[in-house]
Amino acid sequence: MIEAISSRAPGFRPRVAVLLGSGLGSFVDEMKVLAAIPYAELPGFPRPTVRGHEGRLVLGHLGSTPVAVLQGRAHYYEFGRADEMRVPIETMAELGCETLVQTNAAGSLRLDMPPGSLMVITDHINFTGINPLFGLGANRRFVDMVDAYDPALARRLLAAAKAANIRCHDGVYIWFCGPSFETPAEIRAAVTLGADAVGMSTAPETILARHAGLKVAAVSVMTNFAAGLVPGVIGHDQTIAVANASSSQLRLLLRRFLESYG
C-alpha cells in the first residue's frame, strides 16, 4: 500500500493529513497537486456513498507544507461500521504524517453560531455507544482521550482565523450516528450535556487517529441550526449547499494554518 502510494509521488513525505467533510472537497484547489489516487485503487480504503464526498487521496503541497488529503470519508451510518476510516488514517501515519486535520459539516446548537459559522473543535462527546476500536486486541486499544483535539493546534487554528479576519468559534462536538437527523429532544439533551455542535462523523476518526499516534485538529462548518432550535426542516441538500457556500472561508483558514505549519 505504502509503495503503491509512494510510487505515484516518489520521495514525497506528507507531514499533515487533511480529511475533508461533506461539500468541502474543493479545498484541494488550494494545493499544488502531485498525485490524486481514487480510494478504489487503495485496498482497505472505503467507497463513500454520500454525495459531496469524492473518495480520492490527493498528495501535494500547501505553501511549503507537504500534505495528504483524504477527499471524502465514509460514515458509520453508511455501512454500520465505525472503523471504515481505519486503513486510510493508519496509512496517513505510515506515510509519515504527524497530524490529522479534519473538517466536517455540523448542526449548530448555539444561536450565536448561525449557518456559515466556523467552529474549532476542542473536545467531543461520543453519544453513540459505538467505538471504532471495538474488537481490537492489545493494550493500545485503551486510548487516552484527554487533549484528543490538540490544544496547541486548536490555538494555532484560532490564531490563523484571527489573522485572516475570519470569525471562528470554538466548542464541543457531539457525535450522533445518523443517518436520520436528531430529534428536538435529543438536541435539548445535547445542549444540556455541554455540546456546541452536532454531527455524524469526526469522533470515530479522532479515536482512530489517536490510536495511530496522530495529533488531531478539527474544524466544523455550521450548515444549519440543529433540530428544534429554530422553525423549519433540515436536509442533506442544505448541508451541501451551505458547506459549499462557506467553503471559501474554511479554505482560507486551512491554507493559512497549513502554510505556517512550520
- Where does this chain touch ligand HPA (CB under 6 A) — which range of 71-79, 121-129, 176-184, 208-216? 176-184
Taking the least distance from each CB to ligand HPA, the nearer of 97 and 198 is 198
Q: Which of 200, 208, 214, 218 touches ligand HPA by CB under 6 A?
A: 200
Q: Which of 71, 45, 21 is nearest to 220 (CA)?
A: 21
Cell numbers describing residue 30: 488550494
- Closest separation in Å from C-beta 178 to ligand HPA: 6
219 touches ligand HPA (CB under 6 A): no
Taking the least distance from each CB to ligand HPA, the nearer of 151 and 184 is 184
Q: Using the CB atoms, write b or e for 92-102: b if 16+ within 10 Å.
A: bbebebebbbb
Taking the least distance from each CB to ligand HPA, the nearer of 224 and 247 is 224
In whole angstroms, what is the distance from residue 202 CA to residue 219 CA?
10
Q: Dihedral sign, CA of 244, 39, 2, 76? A: positive
Name the phi and psi angles at 212, rounded to 5. Answer: -85, 0
- Where does this chain touch ligand HPA (CB under 6 A) — which range of 7-15, 119-127, 158-166, 219-227? 219-227
In whole angstroms, what is the distance from residue 58 CA to residue 28 CA?
8
Cell numbers describing residue 125: 462527546
Q: Which of 82, 92, 226, 229 touches ligand HPA by CB under 6 A?
A: 226
Interacting positions 124-153 with ligand HPA (CB under 6 A):
none
